[in-house]
């Protein structure tokens, strides 16, 4: 199966993370506005990001059972990343997204995630796309709804995050729901 990555969308390039991205990643992962409703431990050290980037140094494509981060590049600059966790059987993909604060509100996360979701369903044959978030994460919920996902469950105090139990909202969309939306958008 040929990889479409680096994947070009209208304004963006979705590509592997590289060592020259490390300082930018450290900066936005420590930005309180970006990190507030995410689950990573703070502060995010340079060493931790170096290890994450090194662990993905040979990344070329989404592979079942191998969660990955995909860089989002705008005009040659890294503006954030997408998380994709495709289960080992290749049917269910969890997606997540992080954009630098100054690049939010311009549709970049939607554009990047739309391309990745289309690839997951059309090329990988995924039948279910999932997003999990804190119910307080309104921007992320809006994005998931724009992508066509809907609320499936709210599990109170079910997610351990930075020393406390958080509520966890699960959004999902089937491949059939995605195809129905895609056909009405044409």
Quick one: which of 14, 17, 68, 96 contacts ligand COA (CB under 6 A)?
A: 96
Distance CA 130, CA 95 (A): 6
**Region of 52-60, 65-73, 97-105, 158-166 interacting with ligand COA (CB under 6 A):** 97-105
Nearer to ligand COA among residue 52 and residue 104 (C-beta)? 104
**Region of 61-69, 70-78, 91-99, 171-179 interacting with ligand COA (CB under 6 A):** 91-99
Quick one: which of 5, 59, 108, 171 contacts ligand COA (CB under 6 A)?
A: 108
Q: Collapsing DSSP states into helix, strand and coil, what is residue 48? A: helix
Nearer to ligand COA among residue 66 and residue 102 (C-beta)? 102
> CA quadruple 144, 159, 69, 27: dihedral positive or negative?
positive
Tokens coding 23 = 């300082």
Q: Given strand 128-133, what is the order of strands in its sheet?
A: 7-8, 12-15, 68-74, 77-86, 92-99, 128-133, 164-174, 150-161
- Please count the residues of this chain forming the interface with ligand COA, following the rule CB under 6 A: 21
Is residue 56 within the footprint of ligand COA (CB under 6 A)?
no
Cβ atoms of 4 and 119 within 8 Å: the answer is: yes
Is residue 142 within the footprint of ligand COA (CB under 6 A)?
yes
Is residue 143 within the footprint of ligand COA (CB under 6 A)?
yes
Is residue 24 within the footprint of ligand COA (CB under 6 A)?
no
Q: Which residue is nearest to ligand COA (CB)?
A: 107
The candidate with the shortest Cα–Cα distance to 25, out of 84, 82, 97, 78, is 78
Q: Is the peptide bond before 6 cis (omega within 30 degrees of 0)?
A: yes
Point out which residues bind ligand COA (CB under 6 A): 34, 37-38, 96-99, 104-110, 133, 137, 139-140, 142-143, 146
């Amino acid at each position: 199966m040929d990889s479409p990555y680096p994947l070009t969308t209208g304004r963006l390039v979705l590509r592997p993370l590289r060592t020259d991205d490390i300082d930018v990643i450290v900066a936005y992962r420590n930005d309180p506005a970006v990190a507030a409703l995410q689950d990573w431990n703070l502060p995010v050290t340079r060493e931790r990001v170096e290890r994450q980037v090194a662990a993905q140094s040979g990344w070329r494509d989404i592979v079942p059972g191998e969660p990955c981060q995909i860089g989002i590049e705008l005009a040659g600059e890294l503006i954030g990343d997408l998380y994709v966790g495709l289960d080992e059987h290749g049917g269910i993909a969890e997606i997540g997204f992080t954009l630098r604060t100054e690049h939010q509100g311009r549709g970049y996360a939607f554009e990047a995630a739309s391309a990745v979701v289309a690839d997951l369903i059309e090329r990988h044959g995924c039948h279910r796309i999932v997003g999990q978030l804190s119910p307080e994460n309104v921007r992320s919920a809006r994005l998931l709804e724009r992508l066509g996902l809907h609320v499936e469950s709210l599990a109170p105090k079910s997610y351990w995050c930075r020393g406390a139990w958080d509520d966890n909202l699960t959004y999902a969309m089937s491949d059939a729901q995605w195809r129905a939306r895609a056909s009405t958008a044409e």
